Amino acid sequence: MAGLCLPLAMLLLLLASACGQEAPQPQPQPRVQAEIPSQGNEDLFPIRYRLKWLHQAQFAGSYMALEKGFYQKRGLDVQILSGGSDFPPYRSLVNGHSDISNLNLMTAVKYYHTGPEIVNLAQISQKNSTILVGKKTPRLLSIEDLNGKKIGIWRDEPGEYVRLFLEYNQYDAQIVPVDWSVNLLLNNAIDLMNAMDYNELHRILMTGWDEKDLIQFDLSDHGFDIVDDGLYTTKEFYGQHPEECARFTEATLEGWIYALAHPEETLDVVLGYLREAHLPANRAHQAWMLGHMRDRVLRYPDAIGYLHPDDFDKVQAILLEHGWISQPVDYKSFYPHEIRKKN
């Protein structure tokens, strides 16, 4: 925990500064509390936060921020909404069904000019997590073997990244739009599927397949090292509520730091969300996921939540090259927290 206190304190300072506050004191927490005294629910600022996907440990930071009152003590009444195929987070954001959404960086950059402009509040995951996974066969041993294969890819927005990868590399594969199930792969309805290494990969392993019998292509090893989860809002909402956005981000990151420092307590909370949503509540799986999220969130322990310009430039270059965007996106405009830089 001691290792996490310093980055948190630093982040709090950075965020406070970003929101036009005066120079902060060395002890940030009392200062925040002094500025935002505890209020009743009716006085809290309501925020609808749409997750990228169904409830799971991928969003543990938000649950813990809510659970431990980190939002509330910052004057926010946050409602965490499930995402997934039925409630695509980008559409939810632009349609006004949510105030803040969890999106892939690539999605956000891709739609920056085509839809309402959106801004990145924090880059939660600092690592690429997408892989292509299939059963190892003599016909499927290298990335070139993707040609002619049936590849299950999440329909709509979550699968865009993989579709772009295949298109960009001109693999002649048959794309099968799928939901979150791994059973298509198990029943040989498809040859490969896209998977998050913190999620679907484990679910496949938990049906009796060993890693040695699977073939995995990590997209970051093939030129697509694009970071994923981030907190986003529309420029309009950000312009109207910069302070609330900053507090939301700050509380979410504090929630993450708490979650990673208290994995067992966090798993209890996550499993509670899963049960409430009638989703498979599997502690082993959520523990695996939380463990992998730790690597993603804490990749740069001194810059949690920071969108590195390099990561931003990388995705922009890929999208431009591919023609998925026609003009570059301004980093400062996309990530308007000038002071929030890595020291």
User: Which range of residues in 12-20, 97-105, 117-125, 173-181 is near other proteins by CB under 8 A?
Assistant: 173-181
Whole-angstrom Cα distance, residue 203 to residue 207? 7
Nearer residue to other proteins within complex by CB, 190 or 303 = 190
Q: Which is nearer to other proteins, 96 or 177 (CB)?
A: 177
Query: E-strand spans in 206-246?
Result: 214-218, 229-234
List the one residue from 26, 30, 208, 323 that touches other proteins (CB under 8 A). 208
CB 121 within 8 A of CB 249: yes
Q: What whole-number distance in Å separates Cα of residue 130 and Cα of residue 201?
A: 10
Segment 32-71, which members bind other proteins (CB under 8 A)? none
- Residues 271-310 as x/- pattern, contact with other proteins by CB under 8 A: -------x-xxxxxx-------------------------
Which of 114, 183, 240, 333: binder of other proteins (CB under 8 A)? 183
DSSP result, 201-247? HHHHHTTT--GGGEEEEEGGGGT-----EEEEEEHHHHHH-HHHHHH
Write the interaction track for other proteins spanning residues 114-153; mark x where CB under 8 A is met and - where it is not: ------------------------------------x---
H-run or E-run covering 299: none
- Our separate counts of H helices and E strands in the chain read 14, 10
The residue from 181, 263, 299, 331 that contacts other proteins (CB under 8 A) is 181
Q: How far apart are the first and last CA of the chain?
A: 21
Q: What is the largest CA-CA distance in the chain?
A: 65
The partner residues of 195 in beta bridges, in order of sequence, read: 131
Q: Closest approach of Cβ 150 to other proteins, in Å?
A: 8
Q: Which is nearer to other proteins, 30 or 208 (CB)?
A: 208
Q: How many residues bind other proteins (CB under 8 A)?
A: 27
Tokens 């060395």 sit on residue: 26
Give contact residues for other proteins (rule: CB under 8 A). 85-86, 150, 155, 176-179, 181, 183-184, 186-190, 205-208, 278, 280-285
